[in-house]
Structure 1
């Protein structure tokens, strides 16, 4: 896909300044779609895109895995000249990643929820495996209904938590909500059934998730061990 580089206003330090190429970029993320303004961090040593955010009406939000992969492929294949001479193309080189891209700077609510999902996968692995099996054995409609029930619940809970974890500034809170919605779209809406079930447990409890699944299946939930 065609790209348009838009970082000409950035300073141009010597290439020895660091391993990270930092700047703004425009990319068409969907066929026939409009160009999206991005800010990116590309690791010149590892030859991979390590951070990217999309500019929206609510501010910059974290890109999803598919968007990252799309832009990385474009940089490595269609725009190799940028990686060969990043300073000449208007990018900044730095030894450290910018503050906006550091994981610790992410909204605390997103970080906490991500950890809770990972914990649920370990703590309730057998239950998750069982519920995934039951959902996969049912119709696609049942699995989709469960998925979107969890997505709707996550949007309400995580959006509110992200806003509360942000600053008192209304713009920052709107950006936090938008970031939460983008995270949900990438990690939950497009996630595996195991991700969905783990997210449901993190949002409620193992017992409530088990009951919700078997209610959709039209069968009584077995008593928890």
Structure 2
């Protein structure tokens, strides 16, 4: 394990990194390194690894360390850390090597888009294709769901989310290596991706995901069956 600086407490987070502060040949655009961030007031510090683009002055990649390994951060988490870097810890951006980060001309392997799990990339494409191919049906089903009961809409949303986590998790593990730790990390990444992109998405995202998981006919039948079901009666 590389030597690390003592933790520097900075507005609820600290920086760790290698003692080697010499930039690599051709380095300059990307600030790469480890960071510890508190996402909630009085919450625990969470270890993350980040890539900050000095040209656009934004965080372009971040992974969170979990018991399953590193998993991709969600959009809200990435935005939270970016805000911390640009406001409370702007000196890190101004003097990254001094603060224990290193500079790189290229994005690190772990952050490169081509290194993303193939199953997640494929599922993302299938959802986008569903929106193009079945746009009118999706609009109709969204209208029907919004006109129906909140209970039916919630049931549909969480059934789709649960199915997406299960199916994508299995596909991601199969697309990973034979190493058990890599497969666990792939499952965690898939579940985190569904939670961020699908669970928190619009009804159109939910319907498109349902179609990608099955078919347009199955999704339409499921929605109308849910809407036609009698509302549960309250217990006396």
Tell me the TM-score normalised to structure 1 length: 0.94
Name the CA distance, whole Å, in 2 between partners of 1:158 and 1:4: 34
Contact 2:149 2:227 in 1 (8 A): no
Match of 2:51 among 26, 29, 41: 41
1:77 maps onto 2:87 in alignment: yes
Name the CA distance, whole Å, in 2 between partners of 1:54 and 1:78: 20
Q: Which residue of 2 aligns with 1:133?
A: 143
Q: Which has the larger radius of gyration?
A: 2
Name the CA distance, whole Å, in 2 between partners of 1:16 and 1:90: 18
Quote the offset at 1:177 in angstroms.
0.4
Greater than 2 Å deviation, 4+ residue runs? 8-12
In structure 2, runs of 5+ residues without a counterpart are 1-10, 230-236
Name the CA distance, whole Å, in 2 between partners of 1:12 and 1:132: 55
Q: Which residue of 1 aligns with 2:152?
A: 142
Quote the offset at 1:14 in angstroms.
6.8
Provide closer, same or farther for how the CA distance between residues 42 and 153 of structure 1 changes in structure 2, counting only shifts above 3 A: same
Q: Which residue of 2 aligns with 1:223?
A: none
Q: Which residue of 1 aligns with 2:175?
A: 165
Quote the offset at 1:31 in angstroms.
2.5
Tell me the TM-score normalised to structure 2 length: 0.89
Kindly provide the CA deviation profile for residues 14-35 of structure 1, in whole angstroms up to 9, marking residues without a partner as x. 7962200000000011223211
Name the CA distance, whole Å, in 1 between partners of 2:196 and 2:94: 31
Contact 2:21 2:98 in 1 (8 A): no
Name the CA distance, whole Å, in 2 between partners of 1:167 and 1:71: 30
Q: Which residue of 2 aligns with 1:180?
A: 190
Match of 1:12 among 10, 22, 35: 22
In structure 1, runs of 5+ residues without a counterpart are 220-225
SS across alignment from 1:208: helix
Aligned positions of 1:192-203 closer than 5 A: 192-203=202-213
Contact 1:41 1:50 in 2 (8 A): yes
Name the CA distance, whole Å, in 1 between partners of 2:151 and 2:205: 18
Contact 1:12 1:90 in 2 (8 A): no
SS across alignment from 2:52: strand
Name the CA distance, whole Å, in 2 between partners of 1:80 and 1:143: 43
Name the CA distance, whole Å, in 2 between partners of 1:138 and 1:72: 39
Kindly provide the CA deviation profile for residues 24-62 of structure 1, in whole angstroms up to 9, marking residues without a partner as x. 000011223211100000001100000000000000000
Provide closer, same or farther for how the CA distance between residues 153 and 137 of structure 1 changes in structure 2, counting only shifts above 3 A: same
How many matched pairs? 219
